[in-house]
C-alpha cells in the first residue's frame, strides 16, 4: 500500500496542471505516493498532459478519464479508487510545498489517526505573495481522540480543505459522497467529522492555495454564476446537520452547526447583495430559499434575524418589510425606513 494518494480533479487546466504535478514528484517520496488524476471531461489538452505524466511515472501517476460532471463527481470517483493509506485532495490550480513533502510523508507513515491537519499557505497571484496559516501553538504533533482534542483546544478547530488529510479507509467505510459541482469542499470537510475518532495537527505547511482572478468559483463573478450550486449545498448541509448519528459528540455537533450557519448566512448575502446577484429579478428565488429554510431548518432560520449590515438587521427587514438594504445607498436607507 502507498502511504498517500494525492487526489487531483482536473478540468481544462492545461495551464496549471504541470505546476501542480511537478510539486508532488519528489524523488525521495515517489515509492510512497499515488497521484490519482481525474480528468472531468476537459476540452483542452489537459488529458494529453496527464497521460504524458502517467507514461513517465507509471508507478505513481494514474489517470481516470470521465465525462464532465463537476468537481464533486471527480472526488467521489477518487475516493473509491484511492489506494493510499491516506488521501489528500489538491485542486489542479494549487500545488504542494515540495520542500516539506518528505517530512510530511515520514509523519504519515508513523501515525494511524483518522484525521491529519497541516498548515497551509495562500498564494496571491496579483502581488506574488504568500500567507502562512498556523494554529494554536501547543496543539501540534499529538495524537488525540477527537473529544480530548476539543476539550484541550476548543478554539483550534478551523481546518479548510487545504489543511485536511483523511485516512482513506475511513472515507470508504462511511461511503463519503459529496454533491456534483461547485462548493462541495464543505461537504468533504464536514461529512466525515461524526466518524472521526482520532486527530493530529502537524506544523508542516503542505498545500498552497492559489488566489487568481474574480472568475474563480470563489470570486464575485464565480459566485454570481454558480449561486444555485451554493444554495443547493446549503440545503444539503441543513439536511445533514438534522440527521447526524446519535453517537456524534456535542463539540462535533456544534462545529457542524456553526459551519452550516456560516454557509446559510453567506447564501443570504449572495441572494441580497448586488455585488453577487446584481439587479436581476431573483426575488422568487430568495423567497423560495427562505421558505425552505423556515420549514427544514427553523433554528438556522431564526438565527438569520440577528444578521446585521450597517448596524441594521438586514435579513429581518427584508422578511418583514420587503426592504433589501444591501441594495440601497447609505443616504437613502433612513428615508425609506421612515416612509415604511
pLDDT tens-digit readout, 215-229: 556 666 777 778 889
Confidence of residue 12 (pLDDT cuts 50, 70, 90): very high
Determine what percent of the chain is predicted with pLDDT higher than 70.
93
Task: Give the pLDDT confidence score for residue 55 in this predicted structure.
Answer: 98
In sequence order, the β-bridge partners of residue 115 are 166, 199
d(C-alpha 168, C-alpha 4), whole Å: 9
Fold of 4-211: Spore Coat Polysaccharide Biosynthesis Protein SpsA; Chain A (3.90.550)
How distant is the alpha carbon of residue 124 from its chain centre? 18
pLDDT at 105 over 90: yes
Q: According to the model, what pLDDT value does residue 331 have?
A: 54
Does pLDDT of 187 surpass 90? Answer: yes
The pLDDT value given to residue 328: 79
Please tell me which residue, 215 or 143, carries the higher pLDDT value.
143
Inter-residue long-range contacts of 275-280, CB under 8 Å, 24+ positions, other chains counted: 275/220, 276/220, 276/223, 276/224, 276/227, 277/224, 277/227, 278/224, 279/327
Determine the pLDDT at residue 155. 72
Instruction: Tell the burial category of 294 from Cβ atoms under 10 Å away from its Cβ (0-12, 13-18, 19+).
Output: middle
Q: Assign 124 a pLDDT band (cuts: 50, 70, 90).
A: very high
What distance in Å separates the CA atoms of residue 271 and residue 278, rounded to the nearest whole number? 9
The set of cell numbers assigned to 209 is: 492555495
326 against 140, higher pLDDT = 140
List alpha helices for the chain, DSSP H.
Answer: 17-24, 46-56, 71-81, 101-110, 146-152, 168-173, 185-190, 220-225, 227-242, 250-272, 274-277, 283-296, 298-303, 314-321, 330-339
Q: What does the pLDDT look like over 145-163, one tens digit per residue?
A: 999 998 898 876 779 999 9
Residues 269-298 have pLDDT tens digits of 889 888 777 556 788 899 999 999 999 999
Residue 72 clears pLDDT 60, i.e. is over it: yes
pLDDT of residue 108: 97
Please report the pLDDT score of residue 224 as a whole number: 73
pLDDT interval class at 50 (50, 70, 90): very high
Q: Look at residue 157 in the predicted model and tell me its pLDDT.
A: 72
Confidence check: pLDDT of 201 > 70: yes
Burial 22-49 (b: 16+ CB within 10 A, else e): ebbbbeebeebbbbbbbbbbbeeebbeb
Q: What is the pLDDT of residue 222?
A: 72
The Cα angle at residue 153 between residues 148 and 157, in degrees rounded to 5: 105
Specify the pLDDT at position 89. 98
The pLDDT score that the predictor gives to residue 100 is 97
The C-alpha cell of 306 is what? 440577528
Backbone angles phi, psi at 49, to 5 degrees: -65, -45
Q: What is the mean pLDDT of residues 98-110?
A: 96
pTM: 0.91
Residue 332 burial by Cβ neighbours in a 10 Å radius (0-12, 13-18, 19+): exposed
Identify the pLDDT of residue 146. 92
* Tens of pLDDT, residues 316-340: 999 998 888 888 766 555 555 544 5
CB 143 within 8 A of CB 113: yes
Q: Identify the CA nearest to 119 among candidates 18, 209, 194, 8.
A: 209
Instruction: Tell me how far apart the alpha carbons of residues 106 and 86 are, in angstroms, rounded to a whole number.
Output: 12
Question: Which stretches within 297-340 are classed as H helix?
Answer: 298-303, 314-321, 330-339
pLDDT at 29 over 90: yes
Q: What is the pLDDT of residue 158?
A: 76
Mean pLDDT of the 193-213 span = 93
Contact 5, 86 (CB under 8 A): yes
Q: What is the mean pLDDT of the chain?
A: 91
Collapsing DSSP to helix, strand or coil, 143 comes out as: coil
CA distance 180 to 89: 16
CB 75 within 8 A of CB 166: no
Q: How far apart are CA 277 and CA 228, in angstroms?
A: 11
Closest CA to 47 of 63, 34, 59, 67: 63
Amino acid at each position: 500500500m502507498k502511504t498517500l494518494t494525492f487526489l487531483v480533479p482536473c478540468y481544462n487546466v492545461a495551464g496549471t496542471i504541470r505546476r501542480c504535478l511537478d510539486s508532488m514528484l519528489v524523488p525521495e517520496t515517489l515509492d510512497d505516493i499515488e497521484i490519482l488524476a481525474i480528468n472531468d471531461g476537459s476540452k483542452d489538452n489537459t488529458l494529453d498532459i496527464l497521460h504524458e505524466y502517467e507514461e513517465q511515472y507509471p508507478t505513481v501517476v494514474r489517470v481516470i478519464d470521465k465525462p464532465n460532471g463537476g468537481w464533486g463527481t471527480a472526488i467521489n470517483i477518487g475516493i473509491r479508487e484511492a489506494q493510499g493509506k491516506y488521501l489528500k485532495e489538491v485542486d489542479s490550480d494549487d500545488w504542494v510545498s515540495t520542500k516539506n513533502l518528505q517530512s510530511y510523508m515520514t509523519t504519515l507513515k508513523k501515525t494511524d489517526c483518522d484525521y491529519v491537519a497541516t498548515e497551509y499557505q495562500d498564494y496571491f497571484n496579483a502581488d506574488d505573495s504568500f500567507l502562512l496559516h498556523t494554529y494554536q501553538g501547543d496543539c501540534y504533533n499529538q495524537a488525540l481522540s477527537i473529544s480530548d482534542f476539543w476539550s484541550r483546544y476548543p478554539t483550534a478547530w478551523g481546518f479548510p480543505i487545504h489543511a485536511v488529510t483523511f485516512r482513506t479507509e475511513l472515507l470508504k467505510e462511511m461511503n463519503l459522497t459529496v454533491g456534483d459541482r461547485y462548493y462541495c469542499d464543505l461537504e468533504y470537510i464536514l461529512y466525515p467529522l461524526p466518524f472521526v475518532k482520532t486527530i493530529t495537527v502537524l506544523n508542516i505547511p503542505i498545500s498552497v492555495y492559489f488566489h487568481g482572478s474574480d472568475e474563480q468559483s470563489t470570486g464575485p463573478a464565480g459566485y454570481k454564476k454558480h449561486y444555485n450550486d451554493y444554495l443547493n449545498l446549503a440545503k444539503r448541509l441543513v439536511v445533514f446537520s438534522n440527521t447526524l448519528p446519535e453517537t456524534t459528540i456535542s463539540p462535533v455537533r456544534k462545529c457542524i452547526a456553526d459551519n452550516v450557519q456560516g454557509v446559510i448566512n453567506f447564501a443570504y448575502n449572495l441572494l441580497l447583495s448586488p455585488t453577487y446577484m446584481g439587479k436581476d429579478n431573483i426575488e422568487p428565488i430568495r423567497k423560495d430559499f427562505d421558505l425552505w429554510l423556515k420549514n427544514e431548518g427553523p433554528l438556522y432560520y431564526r438565527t438569520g434575524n440577528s444578521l446585521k449590515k450597517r448596524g441594521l438587521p438586514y435579513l429581518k427587514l427584508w422578511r418583514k418589510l420587503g426592504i433589501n438594504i444591501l441594495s440601497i445607498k447609505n443616504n437613502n436607507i433612513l428615508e425609506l425606513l421612515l416612509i415604511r
